[in-house]
Structure 1
Amino acid sequence: MLVTGVRLFNRSSMTKDQVELNIQDLGENCLQLVWRYTCALEALTEPGTAAPAEMGVSVELLRQALYNVRQHQSPNHNPFTHATVQRVELLQSELTAHFQVLRDTVQSKRAVPAAQVFPMFRSVSRLWSGLQDEAELLHIFRNLALSLRPFVASQAQIFSENSIDGLLQGSEIKSDAERRRLCEGGELGPDIEWLVPEHPNDTEPQSVQYSGFCGHILVCRDGLLLPGKPQLGLLKYKEKLYAFSSRDSALQFASAPEHYISEVAERAKRSPELIQLLCLHRQFSCVTPYTEHLLVRPINRSSSSTQTDTHPVESYMDRTYEWNEWALRRKALKLADLRRKQTHSTQTKLSHLRRDNFTQTYTSKDAMGQTTQDGESSMPRPLVYLSELRGQRGRPMVRVELTRALDE
């Protein structure tokens, strides 16, 4: 980072040329076509005007051209693109300020304290890295706009500037911002729920139905797209917000909202490009399956924890596992040999001569018998007397039997 900061400071004169990217000029031509086509189609669909066929203009082609340039306008003027441009401008201003401080600090000195300039060199390197990332993103947007430009050029070939000027007849061309500023006052009715934003200019089109366009004008003026005016208020119907271009359009839409909502859907069926332009994915989910994730309601999430065992699955050993490929080949040959086997069955002649047999037995009876006899006997106690155990050694021992006889 330090080396990068030093090199950037030495080549500070080339920095702006390397990061200067802007896509504002790419959308100016598109915006001019949007405003001109809108004014021309508004003049053709105005009640009481001459038939478009008499003027030699096809309303259908002009309406398709308006839808085309509106679609081309959306990627060039989305909030993300503007945020990127503002981020680039902010980084450029900070980088220029750092370079100026470094020049004032260094000037023509031969030696400068490292603790004074090294942090500034690191800051310059970080700013340059962020600027390069934003510049790459702007480069992608520029390539996208350049790839879409041939489609706008094809519409410009169908309707030349002279033909559009003839339809406008010198009328003032109003931009979308001017149409929003031209707002008449007055209450819209006490029996209808209207929301008036505190800062209408900060109202995001993504939060309003039909991308902020007036649904009543779209139905009653043959597909004309006019931006709504948040200053008039937003109609809240079934938890959805609707913007309108005039007070009369708001009152008529509020009198029968279901009718106009269904008519807008029918108009989108005839012109499928309106589904993407007006963000009607919820009503046409079957037509645009790639937007099904937009239909899913947000899931309520909460933090939770789960404790599992170290080894939730017990060990398993397959006893029939074979690693030898020749053993596997033998099993395969056995299975293949089973396909050629046949199962035979035989029927014996006597097997169909079976009959049912019944056997009757008498019930068991309880009986008892006694064969035990009691007997007694008494044996005499053995008694023996030994003499001549002490005294002279040479005399023999005398044993006298004193046991009584059995018959006594």
Structure 2
Amino acid sequence: MACNENVIKNIANEITRNCQAQNVTVDAEFVIFLIELLLLNPKYGKLFSKVINRDTLQYFVEECGSKLIRSENSINTLKMQFIVQKNYDKLPVLISKHLESIDTCLRPLVSEILEEEPTYEDDNELKKMFRKISIYIILSSGLGNPSNIHNLKEGMAALESVFSLEDLNGFIELPKAEKMAHLRHLMEIVSGVRLFNRDCKKGGEGIPDLPFNLVDAGKACLASLSNSLITVMQRVNTLTTALEDTIVIEDETGNVGFDLKRTADLTVNDVKEVIELLLFYRQYEVFTRRLLSDVQTLVSSAKHHVEKVRHVLDDIHAAVKYKSAVPVTTVFPLFCNLWQVWRSMQNTMYLISTVNRLISNLASIQDLMKIPQSIVDKMLAGRSVITDQDRISNRISLVERLSMANLENYIPYSDPDIFCSGREKSAQFLGFCAVCLTVGALNPGNMKVGYIKNRGKRYSFCNIKMATRFAKNPDRYINEVLDFARNNPHVIHLLNIIEDVRQVKDLDVLVVKYVPKICVMEKDVQTEPHPIDEYIEKDYTWDLWEWKRRACKWASIVNCRTHSTQTIYSHLRSEIQCQTAEPRDKCQQTKKETGMNTVPRNVFLWGLRGQIGDGQHAMDLIVPHNEKLGGRPVDYCTWPCTSMPSTEYREVQEQDYNDEEDFELAIHSKLGF
């Protein structure tokens, strides 16, 4: 593909400049995110498949710029997806990225500590080295700010209690790899000492009360997410109820469309606007539920960490109580254990703060969405709003269940294959109806209807009719969903079908719409029971051999001769007259004369074969060019040939020849051969 990463960056920069010229501010990274999704559509992907020219590039830039400038609901959905994809991931991945960022910030300081080798006699250099190690431990542990003199002194005192200047001389002589490992071990011990001093009320001025703050932050985040989810679900249920009766499927062709006859003054654009709003709020719901699940996990782990910190502190108090000196082999592992639990709580607090930032960003995008209440009221038409829980648990009659059992690859809801280890397997397209998705409608599937399996994946449906139609041709409706997704890129990440869309990005025509038969006239006609009088064919027979005998008799007509005569009394006489003309000879002259074809001179020697004696002579076979062939009399030669004078023949006969061959040669010479 000619459109590589550098080309995409250049296109994004040009689109960003065009948007800024229109007083629209966009992020260059978001533009790259949008371009990569648009290139999955062959309408745009084919533009850069071979060679990039200025016309195609300008067309693509204008298309992207117009989408960003209009700032439709689909763009807001894409912005929300971009923010979550950029700033959020699985919890272990987020923690590892956070720790890597801390190490990256401290890398210059660590390099100085590892590369410096002060001499034993220079106390100032040793003290500077000791100070740098203390600063690194404070920054790496996150326990206070080293710019605060009290925090720095406390950190240096804790370090000096476990790492003296004599130990520093041995540290300098170590290789870099061992220095780094020893430095991290020192950080864990010193941080544990500071945390223990804080619990003993002997320091810890810059250390926050993390156990208390963590529990409160988790509860506040849960409450915020719960309130946001309640608000979003109210809008989702309203839009879904308004939209579900508008989606219809044709019995003849199986095409999915919109039923606009039920509601007056309702257009297709109004329905599409409601669909775009529902897509946005469904995406918001997916992200909110994901964050809520993660925060619940974090809160439960935070409570566990708080209890573990209390147990570790109790163990340290028990180890040092009533003792003036404690072996390092006993107390140092406890300090390290205390620090590791504290680090886990720090990571949990970081994740909760990340979720809070995401909630704030998503809420700012949600504030931009406006629901057209007048259109929604028209589509509701006085109906009460139905929740997803009520919708997906509607009961199915026994007759409908029996009809579903005859479908190919049907899996009932009670089938044990649906459940795995006590948890329900997720259906394709997030459990939304696979048939309604062909037009973008996110109608939740009814689990009581069951599922249909195709190519190892399970699909759910909102009612029996949709499932029955899908079972007849599953690939058709799956391709229609993929075609809708690549034409509407904000649906791709919502349904998690990015890989499926990539597999069909090179197919120009993915869906062939079925055209219904057009009814020209619909009219009832009543006819008489027997419009024709009763008639019995006298020559009718049921015997096949009789028909064959008749066929053989009728076939004798080929041996007969038919005469026709037209008289004045003929029923079907013809008054047509026909005039004929004799064929004429025509010649044609061309502009270029390239040659002439002459008639070869052909001579036939008569009497050479089958005749003994005299009379042989030449016959001219040349036909003149201007002579027209026709009937003419044929001359027959007799033996002896009368065309040869008798005197010449007698002269030849009087001479004495040795054999018959010499005699024939003499005759030929006389005849002029």
CA distance in structure 2 between the partners assigned to 1:27 and 1:35 by the alignment: 12
CA distance in 2, matches of 1:112, 1:94: 30
- In structure 2, what residue type is equivalent to 1:36? T
Give the secondary-structure state (helix, strand or coil) at the position aligned to 2:458: strand
Residue number among 244, 259, 264 corresponding to 2:481 in the alignment: 264
Counterparts of 2:493 and 2:193, CA distance in 1: 49
Q: What is the deviation of 1:146?
A: 2.2
Is 1:29 aligned to 2:231, yes or no? yes
8 Å contact kept, 2:446–2:460: yes
Residue 313 (structure 2) pairs with residue 94 (structure 1): no
Aligned counterpart, 1:171: 384
Give matches, 1:116-265, under 5 Å.
123-155=337-369, 157-160=370-373, 164=376, 168=380, 169=382, 171-175=384-388, 177-184=389-396, 186-187=401-402, 188-190=404-406, 192-195=408-411, 196=415, 197-198=418-419, 202-205=423-426, 208-219=427-438, 222-230=439-447, 232-265=449-482
The answer for the alignment partner of 2:284 in structure 1 is: 72
Residues 128, 234 of structure 1: CA spacing in aligned structure 2 closer, same or farther, 3 A cutoff? farther
Q: Deviation per CA, 1:123-165, whole angstroms, max 9, x where unpaired?
A: 553233112213323332332332232332222x3435x8756
CA contact (8 A) 1:183 1:229 kept: no
List runs of 5+ in structure 1 lacking aligned partners. 290-408
Compute the displacement of 1:38 (Å): 1.4
Deviation for aligned residue 1:13: 6.2
> 2:432·2:461 contact (CA, 8 Å) conserved in 1?
yes
SS where residue 225 of structure 1 aligns? coil
- 1:216·1:249 contact (CA, 8 Å) conserved in 2? yes
Note the C-alpha offset of 1:209.
2.5
Which ranges of structure 2 fall in alignment gaps of 5 or more residues? 1-187, 201-206, 249-258, 507-673
8 Å CA contact 1:180–1:227 kept in 2: the answer is yes
Residues 280 and 198 of structure 1: CA distance in aligned 2, closer, same or farther (over 3 Å): closer
Deviations 1:12-41 (A, max 9, x none): 966222462425244443333222221222
Q: 1:158 to 1:132 in 2, by over 3 A?
A: same
| Deviation readout 1:334-385 (Å, 9 max, x if unpaired) | xxxxxxxxxxxxxxxxxxxxxxxxxxxxxxxxxxxxxxxxxxxxxxxxxxxx
**1:6 counterpart residue number:** 196
SS in structure 2 at match of 1:6: helix
* Aligned match of 1:40: 242
Distance 2:424 2:428 in 1: 12
Report the TM-score when normalising by structure 2: 0.35
Partner of 1:377 in structure 2? none
TM-score when scaled to structure 1? Answer: 0.55
Q: What amino acid is aligned across from residue 243 of structure 2 in structure 1?
A: L
- Aligned in 2, Cα 1:119/1:180: closer, same or farther, shift over 3 Å? farther
Equivalent position amino acid for 1:212 in 2: G
How far apart, CA to CA, are the structure 2 residues paired with 1:53 and 1:265? 31
- Provide, for residues 93-130 of structure 1, a one-character-per-residue CA deviation record: whole Å limited to 9, x for no partner: 223434665798899xx946779998776555323311
CA contact (8 A) 2:263 2:378 kept: no
Percent identical residues: 21
Q: Give SS of 1:173's match.
A: coil
How large is the Cα RMSD of the aligned pairs? 4.2
C-alpha offsets along residues 212-246 of structure 1, whole Å, 9 cap, x if unaligned?
21112234xx5320222445433221233212223
Tell me the amino acid that sits aligned with residue 436 of structure 2.
I
Q: Distance in 1 between matches of 2:391 and 2:302?
A: 34
Distance 2:448 2:357 in 1: 36
Alignment partner, residue 399 of structure 1: none
**How many pairs were matched up?**
280
The yes-or-no answer on 1:16 pairing with 2:224 is: no
**CA drift at 1:54:** 5.1
Tell me what 2:86 maps to.
none
